[in-house]
Amino acid sequence: MARKTSLSGFPEWLPEERLVELHVLDVLRETFELHGFSSIETRAVETVEQLLRKGEIDKEVYVVSRLQEDEEAPEKDDARLALHFDLTVPFARYVVENGGHLTFPFRRYQMQKVWRGERPQEGRAREFTQADIDVVGDGALPFRYDVELALVMIDALAKLPIPPFVLRVNNRKLAEGFYRGIGLQDTAGVLRNIDKLEKIGPEKVAQALCDELGASPEQARAALQLASIRTEDTSFVEQVRALGVNTQLLEEGLQELAEVVGEASRRAPGTVVADLSIARGLDYYTGTVYETVLVGHEQLGSVCSGGRYESLASTGKKTYPGVGLSVGVTRLVSRILAQGMAEASRKVPTAVLVSLVDEESWSQAQDVAGQLRARGIACEVSASAAKFGKQIRYAERRGIPYVWFTVRAEDGSLAHEVKDIRSGEQVRADPAAWTPPAEDLRPVVRPAGA
């Protein structure tokens, strides 16, 4: 991997590593488009007020200001500009502002950089790339989209050079209905503590529920019993009901979660788990919540997460409910590279280096390169007419598989030959017709050992 950058938390890739990242982005893009999602891009900045409307993330937001004081700068802190920390909040603003020009339900995907002022560590950066998909409705959105998005993301992740993964699903209605049923009314506070379960363990979570929220030991124990339920099918429904809590909100959440898990387990068995410990930290989720972990790499955290939100996007008169999932592309690529899970077949896009026999042949070499490029073959021309051996060694260092030679025969005609510098094979070639094997046309990203 590339060396650590001088500015912690802002990863930079070497060219061959960037090819792996581009492969991940291309696979996601192609899959999202196959499922009917349209691409958008939103601005990098939002107002502080817009970003902080939902969720307790104020310490993570980077505020943007000019070095030279701006006389027209807003007086209110909430009107200042800040870099977006995710793509969902900017998307909600985008929908409200462009609702009259969109067709609903609106299916979008978005791949952009985001920024968070977190402490850099493995899997967490201050600048990173996310790839999101969302479906948003006008006033209402059928629950079926919660099921569909899980299936779309399973399809996308299954095509990436990563280990097996598990999409863990829960429903906030289920959790909140249960907490209220046992007498805990600060459901957001309970969710925030349950969300720390894997980090600090059940004993500390139980203590926090008692100390911070005033829960009794029995209430804390019941909340942890719910969070301990995990099934690969809909059997979680009976396990929850066996806990003896019954509320309308709980029942609604059970039915919705059963629909997601039932359909996903039928279409992609083993990839979806009902995990009732999943809470998600952001407050705008109102129903289904998702988290995805790589099997054997659970300590990395979730590589794809999201959920249902009913009122994140709203004009006051109109509400746009939605459901979405976000892939942490940088987190995924970092693990792929660190563990050698995949690699590019070569370092550069260039397939052919067109050599120079002398300095006067540069223009002629550009003619050859132009013919090759016209047929989609990436190539570059040598900068100088060094000895052929030196030009070949340059191609080797760059990872270019072929070197093109043009020489003038005694009768004045031009003879073209191309050399595969890996095998040493050199053959006659016509620049208007020659094409490398399909696997050499462009770099290919393959799983390790493939």
Give the CATH number for residue 356: 3.40.50.800
Query: 416 and 313 in one domain?
Result: no
Q: How far apart are CA 324 and CA 29, in angstroms?
A: 15
Quick: pLDDT tens for 251-294: 999 999 999 999 999 999 999 999 999 987 667 789 999 999 99
Q: Is residue 383 part of a domain?
A: yes
Give the CATH number for residue 236: 3.30.930.10
Query: 97 and 214 in one domain?
Result: yes
Query: 394 and 329 in one domain?
Result: no
Our count of domains for the chain comes to 2
Q: Is residue 75 part of a domain?
A: no
Query: 191 and 154 in one domain?
Result: yes
C-alpha triplet 307, 313, 316: angle, nearest 5° = 140
Q: Is residue 137 part of a domain?
A: yes
Rounded mean pLDDT of the chain?
92
Query: 365 and 313 in one domain?
Result: no
Quick: pLDDT tens for 306-357: 999 988 778 878 899 999 999 999 999 999 999 999 999 999 999 999 999 9
Quote the pLDDT of residue 79.
79
- Distances 400 to 59, 231, 347, 381, 384 between C-alpha atoms, Å: 47, 50, 8, 12, 17
Query: 404 and 340 in one domain?
Result: no
Bigger pLDDT: 413 vs 371: 371
Quick: pLDDT tens for 367-378: 999 999 999 999
Quick: pLDDT tens for 155-179: 999 999 999 999 999 999 999 999 9
166: enclosing H helix or E strand: strand 165-171
Query: 169 and 129 in one domain?
Result: yes
Q: Please count the CA atoms within 13 angstroms of the CA of 60 that sit on its side-chain side.
A: 20
Q: How far apart are CA 375 and CA 441, in angstroms?
A: 11
Q: Is residue 115 part of a domain?
A: yes
Q: Is residue 73 part of a domain?
A: no
Structural domain harbouring 366: 352-447
Give yes or no for residue 109 having a pLDDT over 60: yes
Tell me the percentage of the chain whose pLDDT exceeds 90.
Answer: 79
Q: Is residue 251 part of a domain?
A: yes
pTM (predicted TM-score): 0.90
Query: 416 and 301 in one domain?
Result: no
Q: pLDDT band at residue 448, thresholds of 50, 70 and 90? A: confident
Query: 274 and 174 in one domain?
Result: yes
Quote the pLDDT of residue 273.
96
Q: Which of 325, 344, 363 is the last residue of a domain?
A: 344
Q: Is residue 281 part of a domain?
A: yes
